[in-house]
Amino acid sequence: MDQDLAFLRSEIDECDTELVAILAKRNRITEQVGKIKRSLGAPVYIPERESQLLAARRTQAELQGVSGDLIEDILRRMMRESYQNQQSELACVAPQLSPAVIVGGEGVMGQLFARQLKRSGIEVRILDKKQHCFASEILEGAKLVLVSVPINKVEEIIKGLPKLDDDCLLVDITSIKQQPVAAMLDAHSGPVLGLHPMFGPDIEHWVKQTIVVCHGRKNDKADLLLAQLKIWGAQLVEMAPKKHDEAMQIVQVMRHLTTFVYGQFLAKQTHSLQEIKDCSSPIYQLELMMVGRLFAQSPELYSDIMLAQFDNVESLLEDYKDIYQQTLVKLKNRDKAGLIAGFSDAKSYFSNSAESFLKQSRALLNKANDSKVLE
């Protein structure tokens, strides 16, 4: 029997060895695909191709008694690799934006944009503190100026820019949009565009990554940059600067605050993190992970971020506190009707998404369980 098991295991190892070979072959093909897409001016991500490929393989799998979800999960993971393989050289649909200048090009986000523009064949010049004395030379003839600087410096830096050519596109990628866009419109008479990439500098590819777009002064040049972002696979969402800034406060500020409070609350308890983890279902473990990851940051840096964000949010903070307080009162009075009413409000807000959130989070929880390593 032990021998039978050993034999079956060697058969599994053979399967998996074949799998490695397939992955190596697929890598070679997708690199070629990247090169051809570049010469065709085609985007990295083509939704129809992705969905057709998945549907065909699901059908095929199910005919052979293989779960459709299994093959889809694996193919999606392989597509991530494929999108990454296509990053080294990218199609360019906006040669008119060359040369581009990244103001703050030595920061991590500035580098990310610089790299991506270069991969698309656009000439990129860096203008950071070090190059300050040569600002006019660097900016001379620039067709795109992208400002990627800390939030507390952005207005000052935009105001301090030398006069740009009228056909130059001025763009910023700050996480707030009202002031930077207003400052750019004030400083420059040509096309102006505000972007907020909803991702950090460590992304492996740009496919399906969201970028919020706030139009400043529309123009063909701005459209060209947006077309280039789509070539990279980004998902663009247009929004008014004010709407964007309010949403950011609701999302970031409040989540920061409640996560920060909850982490401190846990630290005050007499239970160790391990004991808390042991008594957490997968969903609570995931929530614990979301809280804990915040505290991987530097206390100093994080406190600065919080202080910078907590202007003009008093009413949001009061809203949250009021609802917390009301909920406690309902619980104390065993006011079931009141709890149901509160729940129903939120339920209709989330409406159909609640079910899809449940489904998506289940998929993530399964993935989290797959990755567990026990002794």
Stretch that binds its own copies, among 89-97, 165-173, 217-225, 263-271 (CB under 8 A): 263-271
- The whole-angstrom separation of Cα 321 and Cα 299 is 24
Cβ atoms of 169 and 219 within 8 Å: the answer is yes
Q: Which of 66, 88, 141, 220 binds its own copies (CB under 8 A)?
A: 66
348 binds its own copies (CB under 8 A): yes
Cβ atoms of 320 and 254 within 8 Å: the answer is yes
3-state secondary structure (DSSP) of residue 193: strand
Stretch that binds its own copies, among 87-95, 124-132, 149-157, 253-261 (CB under 8 A): 253-261
CB of 352 to its own copies, least distance (A): 10
Dihedral angle of Cα 106, 108, 110, 114, to the nearest 10 degrees? 90
- The whole-angstrom separation of Cα 230 and Cα 91 is 11
Stretch that binds its own copies, among 95-103, 132-140, 218-226, 337-345 (CB under 8 A): 337-345
Q: Which of 81, 123, 140, 223 binds its own copies (CB under 8 A)?
A: 81
CB of 127 to its own copies, least distance (A): 27
Cβ atoms of 44 and 231 within 8 Å: the answer is yes
Cβ atoms of 210 and 235 within 8 Å: the answer is yes
CB of 289 to its own copies, least distance (A): 4
Question: Within positions 13 to 32, which residues make up the interface with its own copies, using CB under 8 A?
Answer: 13, 15-27, 29-30, 32
Question: Within positions 216 to 235, which residues make up the interface with its own copies, using CB under 8 A?
Answer: 235
Q: Which of 55, 108, 247, 329 binds its own copies (CB under 8 A)?
A: 247
88 binds its own copies (CB under 8 A): no
374 binds its own copies (CB under 8 A): yes
CB of 349 to its own copies, least distance (A): 4
- The whole-angstrom separation of Cα 197 and Cα 178 is 15
363 binds its own copies (CB under 8 A): yes
Cβ atoms of 135 and 160 within 8 Å: the answer is no
Closer residue to its own copies, CB minimum distance, 34 or 104: 34
Closer residue to its own copies, CB minimum distance, 136 or 303: 303
CB of 226 to its own copies, least distance (A): 15
Residue 89, phi then psi, degrees to nearest 5: -135, 130
CB of 344 to its own copies, least distance (A): 5
Question: Within positions 186 to 205, which residues make up the interface with its own copies, using CB under 8 A?
Answer: 196, 198-200, 202, 204
275 binds its own copies (CB under 8 A): yes
Q: Which of 167, 186, 220, 246 binds its own copies (CB under 8 A)?
A: 246
Closer residue to its own copies, CB minimum distance, 9 or 153: 9
3-state secondary structure (DSSP) of residue 218: coil
- The whole-angstrom separation of Cα 98 and Cα 111 is 17
Stretch that binds its own copies, among 104-112, 115-123, 157-165, 292-300 (CB under 8 A): 292-300
- The whole-angstrom separation of Cα 125 and Cα 101 is 5
Rounded to 10 deg, the angle between the 254-267 and 282-294 helix axes is 100
CB of 149 to its own copies, least distance (A): 19
Long-range pairs, 172-175, Cβ under 8 A, ≥24: 172/146, 172/147, 172/148, 173/109, 173/113, 173/146, 173/147, 173/148, 173/197, 174/147, 174/149, 175/151, 175/248, 175/252
